[in-house]
Amino acid sequence: MVKINMMNSVPNHSGAAGKSGYNRFLLFVAGLGGLLFGVDVGIIAGALPYLEATSGLNANQLSFIVAAVLLGGVISTLFAGALADFFGRKNMMIFSGVLFVVSVPAIALSHSYGALVFGRLLQGVSGGLIGVVVPLYLAECLSASARGKGTGIFQWLLTLGIVAAAVIGFYFSGRVEAVAKLGDADKLFAFKDTAWRSIFWVSLPPGILFVIGAFLVSESPRWLFRCGKKTAALAALLRSRSDEQAQMELQEMEDIATAEKAGKDSAGKNSDSLFQRKYILPFVLACIILACNQATGVNSIIGYNATILIQAGLSDKQAHLGYVILTVVNFLMTIGAIALVDRKGRKFLLSVGSAGVIVSLLAVGIIFHQTEVQRVDVKDAMQAQVNSSNQTVVVEFNDVSAAIFLVPSGKTIAQPKTLVVIYSYGDFHAATKVVRSDDLGAKLTIDRDSCVPATKVAAFFKNPFADLAAARVAPLKIENALITPVPSAQNGWLTALLIYCFMASFAIGPGVCVWLALSELMPTRIRSNGMSVALLINIAISTTIAAVFLPTVGKFGYSTMFFVFAGCTVVYFITATFFLPETKGKTLEEIEEHFEGKK
């Protein structure tokens, strides 16, 4: 095999200081991508209460604005791999950053439902592209010894984005409270309108920095090599590696390319089938890990954290404080994962992290089960409250009304209690928020707009098999109306502590290592498209869990969901411990050879 020597045709980047500085810059740019991804996920939570109060949009429209990011992410994730192969990793990073930058004024300056949806769709498309392209770019650009740290920084700044979104929302909530004390309804309305727009404007600077940074980094050397640009590939390698390392990795790329060419038959057709062990096994492993990553319930536990803690016994204010603590735990433990991922390895952290997740979920499930066995279903009494003319229910929930609802069951609950209602109009089901009897003015309002989608597109994503026309005229049916005793605040803080243990275990293992598994396991030939398909599966699982979480919790309790999440994580633990190879310190080509059965 001929050794390639192009050292005289490329600039000399052998200075250690220059390479170190470039590597730090590369990690900074990739980290900004993670930050944007985290902002995409978390920013709407802080803005939504003020958007709801000032926009005049109904519940279905608001739900679609929240879900538009997911829809945009699904669309872009599906095509991200093919686009990254055609246009290059660097160009797609620039494009995704530009989309995010454009989305911010599109949302913050909007005065219509259509403009809001468009802006949120752009953010979703941007987030989907970033989720595929940035880990792909990092895996192909960083050396084997730094790949874990680099991808860890992407996840670390992703968690920082979620923390930042929570802190920004908390800051504006304090300012809104101060304006509310003035007693001027017009000023309060105007400030709430300013607040949600300002929350989105704050996310603009990191988007601009990401675009600028993406212009300044090199293209992926492995993409350049597969495009036949070997000189440019070597030049890109030399920006971050020593001459010897660059030449070695370029030779490994050449070896892989030679092996692929050898797979072609005399007719010129590629007999190197994608259905070989070296392609199928890593693809299946990556898909299982990504699916199980979502099946831990992490998105639902984060998204419904305040509601979970209220049900566990904390007050509304304590529960929101608990959520801020959760995001901080996630952020801090990700720092620990970054420090360990290239020392202890991916396999070790995934095994330890998934084991911790299992124990934490089981413990939380047991605590909730002890309370939920006392819950009482008062659906018949609630059904009697339905207004027959417009098929709605408005219930003020306090100790007096709770006692009235409980009369037919012959049961009493002395301590404070919560109420959650599962209801349906035709084929569409929904769940109310959880209200407590000791909260002043606690009220539940159930109407058709809160359940039945406004458009056929929204209806398809909520339930593709539902009859929208029938649901628009169907009567309100109360599926369950569950009154549950509220445990003590000590019980609530114990639950919060166990959920923090869950978050710490997730952050130290699955949170960081899942991105590595996705980008490292896939062989070069299928890496970009394989990552897109695997992430699409990831989104499908996440969407399914989001769709069934509240109805399942309402009907069977939080304990059931936590036990199901724990069972799925057992699959995760077995896969990580017994089937996943250790990829620490190995080049992408060495990992590929492992799945070919070569030593």
Q: What is the DSSP letter of 315?
A: -
Confidence (pLDDT) at 113: 84
pLDDT attached to residue 366: 95
Last residue of a domain, one of 232, 257, 282: 257
CA 559 to chain centre: 22
Whole-angstrom distance, CA of residue 505 vs CA of residue 224:
38
Is the distance from CB of 505 to CB of 264 less than 8 angstroms?
no
Q: What is the pLDDT of residue 10?
A: 41
Residue 545 lies in a domain: no
| 8 A C-beta contact, residue 29 and residue 90 | no
Residues 6+ apart with CB under 8 A from 565: 295, 296, 297, 361
Distance CA 64, CA 121 (A): 10
Tell me if 239 sits within 8 A of 13, measured CB to CB. yes
Do 588 and 569 fall into the same domain? yes
Decide if 218 contacts 239 (C-beta within 8 A): yes
| Alpha helix (H) residue ranges in 342-376 | 346-372
Which amino acid would we find at residue 67?
A
Domain annotation covers residue 4 = no
Report d(CA 544, CA 542) in Å as an integer. 5
Whether residue 493 sits in one domain with residue 481: no
Residues 236 and 344 in one domain: no
The CA distance from 579 to 573, in Å, is: 10
Q: Are residues 579 and 497 in the same domain?
A: yes
Task: Give me the pLDDT at residue 45, please.
Answer: 67
- Of 437, 460, 485, the position where a domain reaches its end is 485
Here the tokens at position 192 are 């709430």
Pair 157, 115 in one domain: yes
pLDDT at 569: 94
pLDDT at residue 501 in the model:
95
One domain for residues 236 and 281: no
In a domain, 525, yes or no: no
- What's the CATH code of the domain at 153? 1.20.1250.20
Number of domains in the chain: 4
- Do 130 and 22 share a domain, yes or no? yes
Within this chain, do residues 51 and 178 fall inside the same structural domain, yes or no?
yes
Angstrom CA distances, 277 to 95, 281, 282, 378, stand at: 35, 5, 8, 55
423 domain-assigned: yes
| Domain shared by 22 and 125, yes or no | yes
Nearest to 446 by CA among 404, 411, 478, 470: 478
- For residue 10, is it within any domain? no
Q: pLDDT under 50 in the chain at which residues?
A: 1-14, 266-267, 271
- What confidence tens digit (pLDDT) does each residue in 133-154 have? 887 888 778 776 666 677 677 7
Q: What is the pTM of this model?
A: 0.70
Q: Is residue 352 part of a domain?
A: yes
For 102, the domain range is 16-217
The first and second tokens of residue 295, run together, are 């099946």
End of a domain among 436, 459, 485?
Answer: 485
Q: Do 91 and 159 fall into the same domain?
A: yes
43, 183: one domain: yes
- HEC letters along 90-127: HHHHHHHHHHHHHHHHHHHCCCCHHHHHHHHHHHHHHH
